[in-house]
Structure 1
């Protein structure tokens, strides 16, 4: 009775679709237009992802630091090792470029050799004066410029590591953007349309190769690459899936309508991004392509069923109606399980993944709805399939492939279990070798010029990623106490001994420079003042920086003088060592700064990102457990059998373990991009399991509960669709390997590989388990009255409903 009611429901849906074809097409068109109107609301990300919840202590500390010192990532650096810079023509061009950059309203401050200031003592006002390092009247003199270079490298230790590398002679300029624009579209426009053209103009004029980097610069070009690749992915996915589709069906009509459906789905996905106000990030940029990759298998399943039905009775209208009637529940449930696989990311409490989970799961259900509505309507207007279109149902390569599977399952089940157990053991060994990556730039496009520039700065200046230490003295003007400065100096010495970090910068460096200036610039006096010297030297330093835009101290001491900042840079490749580095700094800080008098916070982008990766990994485990739980619950509801739950989980768990083990052997680390592989692959692979088990249960009822006959009959129907969809998914996800982003390449390759393992597991291991456990799984009481029936109804049952109506 329940099945008849279910058939009646889908019979009603089929009639509504086929009798209201024009109205439905107009409705789809109107919805598409409405979504297209949302495209102008699409926003692009201007920051890298923060993977930690806002209320987590890591984020609280980081935001506390930003409140005191503003956005840390506002520094852009430009550098060169070319000694030609200190020739009259090149130096003048450099000065012109830096002057132009300083004049831009988006720029707050430029520190460069052409405008560099030297502290000079002025006894009459008891202060230091900032005097120009460069005498502009002499810059046409080659000898003067060479002496200027020597003076910079040998007599100004304050700027070492900040503006020059004494060993290699690399020179750089520091451009501080207005902190208000760092996370806005204005920053992107400035970098792309003002800064880069100025750099190119200088290079063309002088022939000197410049290197540029810094977080605003990296973010901008990284985001631009993401946007550029969206079109590449969509085009490649359409081309590859279209070619595979045509190869399977040999029908231009079927291929064309399937591509039109997924293109509409892509248009809806962009519209939904705009409607929900989500930014295009490295993850949401994948959604339009996922719509194509997931939509085409839906088309394959429905068109394959249409061809099977037409081959039975050569009645097109009847075939179209029965495509909906006989597959409605099954296709709905398999799409729901796929959507649930992505929806588990919503539970991670991470904005980036929540948005990805929401937008993807909605679009999966939307593309299913489009396929269900448009395909029957389209084929109702087109001629019936010809024999060439139906030839794919009995292709020789398919017949040979399934003959091998049947023979393996029939005669070599012990070997199947042996191979599965061996792969499980190998996978577990590989899992123990997996590393966790805390790298911010590891997933960035390695074939781009800006990535080469990152490596240049890591080599010459020990990195561009800032590690920040904020010291709260718990009293106003406490930073400038000599006792505090000495504690900070000792902490900086510890930081300087850590090989992964650059030379640290803080107000300590400025106070040392003040003493050097007090003693007429003698570099031997670049040190903290003694207790006898502190009163007049510190008063000189304070007077020199009052209400000055060129206040060198304002970046390292807050306006109240209560908070101090120490900045060091870390090479991105050392992200995985962040915990050990922080532990070393923390141990020293706790000794130097008693908690009763001071509070020390260690933060910065690399630290936040590395902790975010670990947080994400913890959430991966919970989201995977949720995916398993949801799938198990769905199977239990559908089949009312705990044994079926186990049989459905095992063939899908093995491919995940194999992929994780392979990551360990190939040194592919766990990182935000690769962590997603498991949830995505599981959600999609379990579809094949449900289709196989549903078909198997139907064959049991057809074949008088004869186990072997039912299992092998299942291959004749469900096997083809499982094979076709798996091939499309494999090549569809392989499209992401065209990316220049390492993370996207890994995501595409690993998901494709996992789905391939999943297909073989569902076609070989799953039926082997069913046959081995046949006595318990064939219990008629467990199969007759499921809570949700996703079985394909028999022709007799459909006929009964049609006659009744």
Structure 2
């Protein structure tokens, strides 16, 4: 027997709390103040969620690319698809707008129609030079018509990047400074300077401007997360408080619960700040989660207090019993819930580790706050009024308990058949689940920036960068004719893949060089022949700089050893992405001999897709660990290995049903939805602990009569399990108001799982106990528990705890 969990220990805890209430309140206020000092350390993430460990091969390849070519996610794009743009006033205004971005210290360079340069042969100096398409501004429709003719018909090098010659859509590219892309400077520039300028232009010239690019998307997506934290907190507080008041009909009890969970939220923010963790899409969910999980703690404690007061009218005795008789059970259930979250710490994903640490610490903190604050506050308050105790004798609650009892007593076969049918149907659904590696899928689909993403996907085949880096293993190896031909072969395959945009690389520049050599004739936009190669490339090499522009710097590293191919991918499913990657890899293996070249595919789209698959695998392991951990904990608690089986069945079945629903409804496995299982399992097992603990106590009180004990446990725990399940159901449903698809799915799926879990624990669990009474639920298995979850001395048969 562990002294920590004996009744004597909890009696001592009760005396300590009630005798030192002023000191404890001062300590809580002090701790809250000290934690609030760490709020200043909280910051919202300025980078994408990296789901892979730092030393993972995919991350290593991506980091090597960044070391060679610098940050690739620094591009913001603006686009207009409107014939009226090609008028003197509007085109000049557009050029003025894009030029104005150059003066911002956060901007490295801008490439737009105004900045477009023709590559022209300079025979005298045997090099190429650049001449602008627009020298100053356009002054007539004739100039605009010539510009359109040149762009759309004569210079294929820019097609697919700065314009779409088929739809006449125009784009401008704004490159942010690479050193500010992953900092708060980027966010401040985009929100306070970039967006206001674009909106002012739209209003002044009645043109719809589409904006996108990874820095822009990340900024607006992060701002949505910030905006929703407050929304979730208010909604979770409102919904849970209303349900709480509906059950208890007491403003006093409701207000006490609100105070407790609000302090819990303050502590959560303090923990985040103290650990200096960034607020991500996952950690942003923890504060409202604490409200949703904290309110059931308040229900158990306040419900027990009111039962005790109703029973014997002694307030001090009631408060002491609240601590001694509910403290241990509430501790156990909070520990199991925290354990479900804590298993994320065992993954190698930094994102999940931080989520697991903060969530588990916050859950234990809210338990401690509930246990300390609620009894102490009630010592200062008068007795509950009669109307506050009416909920203890509600007829509809009694009807619900009677229905459960009738089902378990007379419809056990129906419960088993229904469970089996649901299990089989769910297993079929599980095989239909797909894994999603989309960067965009969980973003707010109705937001303007997501609509703009779809616009650029339609016009330019995507905005998510995919990079292919070619290592020639020798200095200046890129400009070898054999290397250029191999890169061109790979680009031909990329052009044939509809989900990828037109590739940009040194090959395009070499083709453009040949066109320029032949005085801009577009039919010569092709690779030079062997005879042409030497003198055309000599022109290109002599053109290292003109107007501070290095013709090769964006395509080849400074040593000439590494080349890059940049393409952009549409928002497609993981299956399609994997097939595209496989096709590209097959072509790479065939075209680039491994003894001469090292070719790696990388880029944010691929890193995220690989990270999603890695995360799903790790979360499956995490869930398995949670199941094993909690099963061992329950076996230790009840000193019964057999009880593992009977306790896990009603908790695993809801998980399988939810997984089946995901398959049937087309909800993919992704970081947000895979969290459902660990969260729901950690919470739903609480009901099992309460029921089995009460059942064991009933066995002892009823001289090991199985049926009497099962029905007694069902009647006494059913109401509290119903109350808390309803609070949790509606509490998690709050997340469905989110504009993020992943958060909506998380809220809906956890709510559904907890509802199934409540029914399984109230119907299937007692049915199994009755059916397996001779083999499992017997005196030998239950006689000496390791932990007294509910103390033996409890003669109050009306309590729901």
TM-score normalised over the length of structure 1: 0.97
User: What is the aligned partner in structure 2 of residue 86 from structure 1?
Assistant: 86
In 2, Cα distance between the equivalents of 1:665 and 1:199? 43
User: What is the aligned partner in structure 1 of residue 107 from structure 2?
Assistant: 107
In 1, Cα distance between the equivalents of 2:671 and 2:550? 40
User: What is the aligned partner in structure 1 of residue 56 from structure 2?
Assistant: 56
In 2, Cα distance between the equivalents of 1:332 and 1:530? 78
In 2, Cα distance between the equivalents of 1:255 and 1:72? 52
| Pairing of 1:207-606 with structure 2 (within 5 A) | 207-546=206-545, 549-606=548-605
The answer (yes or no) to whether the contact 1:46–1:184 under 8 Å persists in 2 is: yes
User: What is the aligned partner in structure 1 of residue 671 from structure 2?
Assistant: 672
The answer (yes or no) to whether the contact 1:326–1:793 under 8 Å persists in 2 is: no
The answer (yes or no) to whether the contact 1:76–1:213 under 8 Å persists in 2 is: yes
Structure 1 counterpart SS, 2:775 = helix
When residues 361 and 3 of structure 1 are mapped into structure 2, their CA distance, relative to the original with a 3 A threshold, is closer
The answer (yes or no) to whether the contact 1:576–1:610 under 8 Å persists in 2 is: no
User: What is the aligned partner in structure 1 of residue 799 from structure 2?
Assistant: none
The answer to whether 1:168 aligns with 2:141 is no
1:125-169: CA deviations, max 9, x gaps?
2111111111325x1212211221221111110001110111111
1:747-792: CA deviations, max 9, x gaps?
0000000000000000000000011111233322322211222123
User: What is the aligned partner in structure 2 of residue 74 from structure 1?
Assistant: 74
Structure 2 counterpart SS, 1:158 = coil
The answer (yes or no) to whether the contact 1:500–1:574 under 8 Å persists in 2 is: no
1:662-714: CA deviations, max 9, x gaps?
00000111111101100000000000000000000001111111111111111
Shift of residue 548, structure 1, vs aligned partner: 6.1
User: What is the aligned partner in structure 2 of residue 803 from structure 1?
Assistant: none
Shift of residue 199, structure 1, vs aligned partner: 0.5
Structure 2 counterpart SS, 1:174 = strand
When residues 701 and 3 of structure 1 are mapped into structure 2, their CA distance, relative to the original with a 3 A threshold, is farther
1:440-485: CA deviations, max 9, x gaps?
1000001110010000000000000111100000001000111100
In 2, Cα distance between the equivalents of 1:117 and 1:253? 73
Which stretch of the first structure deviates more once superposed, 361-370 or 615-624? 615-624
The answer (yes or no) to whether the contact 1:3–1:793 under 8 Å persists in 2 is: no
| Pairing of 1:17-56 with structure 2 (within 5 A) | 17-56=17-56
In 2, Cα distance between the equivalents of 1:349 and 1:531? 51
In 1, Cα distance between the equivalents of 2:499 and 2:448? 24
The answer (yes or no) to whether the contact 1:106–1:190 under 8 Å persists in 2 is: yes
Structure 1 counterpart SS, 2:48 = coil
Shift of residue 598, structure 1, vs aligned partner: 0.3
The answer (yes or no) to whether the contact 1:697–1:791 under 8 Å persists in 2 is: no
In 2, Cα distance between the equivalents of 1:68 and 1:604? 13
1:268-322: CA deviations, max 9, x gaps?
1111111101111100000100010000000001111111111211111100000
Aligned length: 796
In 2, Cα distance between the equivalents of 1:491 and 1:202? 40
| Pairing of 1:675-754 with structure 2 (within 5 A) | 675-754=674-753
User: What is the aligned partner in structure 1 of residue 16 from structure 2?
Assistant: 16
In 2, Cα distance between the equivalents of 1:620 and 1:173? 41
1:574-609: CA deviations, max 9, x gaps?
443111111111111111110000001011111111
User: What is the aligned partner in structure 2 of residue 767 from structure 1?
Assistant: 766
RMSD, aligned α-carbons: 1.4
| Pairing of 1:169-184 with structure 2 (within 5 A) | 169-184=168-183
User: What is the aligned partner in structure 1 of residue 779 from structure 2?
Assistant: 780
In 2, Cα distance between the equivalents of 1:362 and 1:2? 23
The answer (yes or no) to whether the contact 1:695–1:792 under 8 Å persists in 2 is: no
In 2, Cα distance between the equivalents of 1:755 and 1:279? 29
User: What is the aligned partner in structure 2 of residue 802 from structure 1?
Assistant: none
User: What is the aligned partner in structure 2 of residue 630 from structure 1?
Assistant: 629
When residues 552 and 299 of structure 1 are mapped into structure 2, their CA distance, relative to the original with a 3 A threshold, is farther
In 2, Cα distance between the equivalents of 1:696 and 1:3? 22
When residues 405 and 208 of structure 1 are mapped into structure 2, their CA distance, relative to the original with a 3 A threshold, is same
The answer to whether 1:617 aligns with 2:616 is yes
In 1, Cα distance between the equivalents of 2:146 and 2:573? 37
The answer (yes or no) to whether the contact 1:163–1:172 under 8 Å persists in 2 is: yes
In 1, Cα distance between the equivalents of 2:145 and 2:716? 82
In 2, Cα distance between the equivalents of 1:199 and 1:280? 29
1:480-517: CA deviations, max 9, x gaps?
11110011001100111112111111010011111111
In 1, Cα distance between the equivalents of 2:706 and 2:791? 18
Structure 2 counterpart SS, 1:447 = coil
When residues 547 and 363 of structure 1 are mapped into structure 2, their CA distance, relative to the original with a 3 A threshold, is farther
Structure 2 counterpart SS, 1:180 = coil
When residues 677 and 548 of structure 1 are mapped into structure 2, their CA distance, relative to the original with a 3 A threshold, is farther
User: What is the aligned partner in structure 2 of residue 125 from structure 1?
Assistant: 125
The answer (yes or no) to whether the contact 1:439–1:576 under 8 Å persists in 2 is: no
In 2, Cα distance between the equivalents of 1:779 and 1:740? 51
Structure 1 counterpart SS, 2:519 = coil
Shift of residue 547, structure 1, vs aligned partner: 7.8
Shift of residue 113, structure 1, vs aligned partner: 0.2
Structure 2 counterpart SS, 1:343 = helix
In 2, Cα distance between the equivalents of 1:172 and 1:221? 20
Shift of residue 564, structure 1, vs aligned partner: 0.4
User: What is the aligned partner in structure 1 of residue 198 from structure 2?
Assistant: 199
In 2, Cα distance between the equivalents of 1:204 and 1:328? 62
1:169-227: CA deviations, max 9, x gaps?
11100111111111100110111111111101111111111000000000000000000
The answer (yes or no) to whether the contact 1:677–1:747 under 8 Å persists in 2 is: yes
Shift of residue 354, structure 1, vs aligned partner: 0.6
In 1, Cα distance between the equivalents of 2:559 and 2:5? 75
Shift of residue 795, structure 1, vs aligned partner: 4.0
In 1, Cα distance between the equivalents of 2:215 and 2:264? 34
| Pairing of 1:153-164 with structure 2 (within 5 A) | 153-164=152-163
In 2, Cα distance between the equivalents of 1:373 and 1:631? 26
- Give unmatched runs, 5+ long, in structure 2: 797-801
The answer (yes or no) to whether the contact 1:3–1:789 under 8 Å persists in 2 is: no
- Give unmatched runs, 5+ long, in structure 1: 798-805
The answer (yes or no) to whether the contact 1:705–1:778 under 8 Å persists in 2 is: no
In 2, Cα distance between the equivalents of 1:649 and 1:204? 61
The answer (yes or no) to whether the contact 2:129–2:546 under 8 Å persists in 1 is: no
The answer (yes or no) to whether the contact 1:730–1:755 under 8 Å persists in 2 is: yes
The answer to whether 1:643 aligns with 2:677 is no
In 2, Cα distance between the equivalents of 1:114 and 1:185? 30
The answer (yes or no) to whether the contact 2:35–2:270 under 8 Å persists in 1 is: yes
Structure 2 counterpart SS, 1:414 = helix
TM-score normalised over the length of structure 2: 0.98
In 1, Cα distance between the equivalents of 2:728 and 2:705? 33
User: What is the aligned partner in structure 1 of residue 151 from structure 2?
Assistant: 152
Structure 2 counterpart SS, 1:468 = strand
